[in-house]
Amino acid sequence: MMLVTEFMDGGDLRSVLDASRTSRRFSWLHKMECALHIAEGLVYLHSLDTKVIHRDLKSRNVMLDSVSGAKITDFGVARETNDATMTVGIGTYRWMAPEVLTDGHYTEKADMFSFGVILAELSTELVPYTDLNLSDAGIIARVMVGTLRPTFDTTESPPWFVEMGTQCLALQADQRPTAAAVAYALHQALKQTAETRVV
């Protein structure tokens, strides 16, 4: 048996962000496009008749190419929402929602928290919490109770982007936006950016 997959010549998002910290080659326009493509992928997953939750959304699981942008990968732990294993704690803890860390409960809002962490990565270009002198257990404990969230570079990031990311990182899952709402906001922001560049 052979498996043929699309070649993503840009590599994974985490590697691109690491390289961008020295080269500054990943512009805000590209970051916004990347965020939109991830959000659109989540819209698709979350709008299926039986919703699919990725459960391990992180920058290493987003692949980039020079033609079609960003795509979500690594569905090894993805599950339909009616699957009995939706309460098993799976994923990479720095991107995990508080409710997942607390009791292992997944809904599509857990993916939205992970998306918010990726927005913070796009803003700072850093792996979440690397600027803190905390153990893994210390980070997890603080995220679980809402006293620690990934940070945004407010000097470089547009205010609306920081606000969107902050909403995605809400402690209460029901306060996080849907993938559709985020995709719409990103689409509108890109449209305004394009109009501004033309003028």
Residues 62-80 pLDDT 10s = 999 877 688 888 755 444 4
Tokens read off for 121: 């990565």
Indicate the residue type of 144. Answer: M
| pLDDT confidence of residue 77 | 47
Residue 134 pLDDT > 70, yes or no? yes
Question: Which segments of the chain are extended strands (E)?
Answer: 11-12, 52-53, 62-65, 69-72, 79-80
Question: Which segments of 25-77 are extended strands (E)?
Answer: 52-53, 62-65, 69-72
| pLDDT confidence of residue 88 | 38
> Is 56 in the active site?
yes
Domains and CATH numbers, the chain: 11-191 (1.10.510.10)
- The mean pLDDT value for 157-168 works out to 97
* Set 56, 111, 131, 174: catalytic member: 56
Cα separation, 11 vs 46, in Å, equals: 25
Q: Are the C-beta atoms of residues 107 and 53 closer than 8 Å to each other?
A: yes
Cα separation, 106 vs 100, in Å, equals: 6
Rg from Cα positions in the chain: 16
